[in-house]
Amino acid sequence: MKLGIIGLGLIGGSMAIDLKRRGFADEVTGVEADSVNAAAAEKIGLVDRILPLEECVATSDLLVLAVPVGAAVKMLPGILDMFRKEEEDTGACRRTVIDVCSTKEQLSRTVHYHPMRTHYVATHPMAGTEYSGPWAAMPGLFDGRAGIICNQEESSPAAVHLVEKMYDCLNMRLIYMNASSHDVHTAYVSHISHITSFALALTVLDKERNEKHIFDLASGGFSSTVRLAKSSADMWVPIFSQNRDNLLKVIDTYLEKINDFRKAIDSFDEDGIRTLIEDANRIKRIIR
């Protein structure tokens, strides 16, 4: 099995490590547009070789498109075009491509009518850290986490089966849903947490001009709540933009909740504050 990873950041790099070590791939080649990151990925040993995109596509059984979703929307049709050219030229193309992006609807719409659509599987491994780049890649990143496969009926059974084997090798629990549900649910659970965390960082940096105070007074609580505010703009700008409609709804609910706290605190309504906190505590039942 030859694996090609397009985009050697946290997700692509971490997949490269485990899929090679655990024997899923005999060879891992990579494509990386940023020359510094490409040199680092080779030096760290994430991939066996860095290749130009066309060569990587032409030599990989399975391609993982692990670039920010704005770039993925532009690149995916081109990769399927290369598959088509190969089929026209040689009579067959047995390659599969997956993406690993955090929004799925726009990608799915973009290639919905592509003649090679069945060679593409839309996936989202629910794992990550606030760090990015090949230096952030680590073994075991996906172990035990959820891996989502979207619109699997639009992919060929053979392609879906291959991807299931890959995620099984990464020890992920597989979940199946359609692309538009995926984008609703990830807005509700994952994307909103990034907005609240970015806004918290902006607030603290704005109100507390003394950085030494922030450092001194940041107990573990603040650090964990603000952790996601270190996340990269390259990754999150296209996610927020592509998932706009779902995000606006959840932001509006969130603004209501903050305003509920504001009102209760403003009017010294201790019973009201208690009710809000005890309602929020229900999250304990779900998240350990």
Q: Pattern 130-169, binding to its own copies, x per CB under 8 A?
A: x--------------xx-----------------------
- Residue (44 or 276) nearer to its own copies, CB: 276
* Tokens of residue 55, six digits: 């060569």
Q: Are strands 173-177 and 146-150 parallel, antiparallel or unpaired?
A: parallel
Asked if residues 102 and 240 have their Cβ atoms less than 8 Å apart, the reply is no
HEC profile of 181-223: HHHHHHHHHHHHHHHHHHHHHHHHHHHCCCHHHHHHHCCHHHH
Q: Are strands 62-65 and 96-99 parallel, antiparallel or unpaired?
A: parallel
- Residue (26 or 279) nearer to its own copies, CB: 279
Q: How far apart are CA 187 and CA 239, in angstroms?
A: 10
- Residue (39 or 253) nearer to its own copies, CB: 253
Q: How far is CA 55 from CA 82, 83, 141, 168, 209, in A?
A: 10, 12, 28, 27, 51
164's CB contacts (< 8 A; 6+ apart) are: 149, 174
Segment interacting with its own copies, rule: CB under 8 A, options 18-26, 78-86, 90-98, 123-131: 123-131
Q: Identify the residue among 1, 44, 136, 273 touching its own copies (CB under 8 A).
A: 273
- Residue (4 or 147) nearer to its own copies, CB: 147
Q: How far is the CB of 95 from its own copies (least distance, A)?
A: 29
Residue 119 amino acid letter:
H
Ramachandran area for residue 31 (φ above 0: left; ψ -120 to 50: alpha; else beta): beta
Q: How far is the CB of 76 from its own copies (least distance, A)?
A: 20
HEC profile of 123-160: EEECCCCCCCCHHHCCCCCCCCCEEEEECHHHCCHHHH
Q: Interface with its own copies includes 117 (CB under 8 A)?
A: no
Q: How far is the CB of 170 from its own copies (least distance, A)?
A: 14
Segment interacting with its own copies, rule: CB under 8 A, options 8-16, 50-58, 112-120, 127-135: 127-135
Segment interacting with its own copies, rule: CB under 8 A, options 77-85, 90-98, 151-159, 260-268: 260-268
Q: How far is the CB of 69 from its own copies (least distance, A)?
A: 12
Q: How far is the CB of 246 from its own copies (least distance, A)?
A: 9
Q: How far is the CB of 99 from its own copies (least distance, A)?
A: 17
Query: Radius of gyration over alpha carbons of the chain, in Å?
Result: 21
Total residues binding its own copies (CB under 8 A): 93
Residues 187-226 that bind its own copies (CB under 8 A): 188-190, 192-208, 211, 213-226
Residues 20-49 that bind its own copies (CB under 8 A): none
Question: In what order do the strands lie in the sheet containing 96-99?
Answer: 49-50, 27-31, 2-6, 62-65, 96-99, 120-125, 146-150, 173-177
Residues 224-253 that bind its own copies (CB under 8 A): 224-233, 236-238, 240-241, 244, 247-253
- Residue (43 or 209) nearer to its own copies, CB: 209
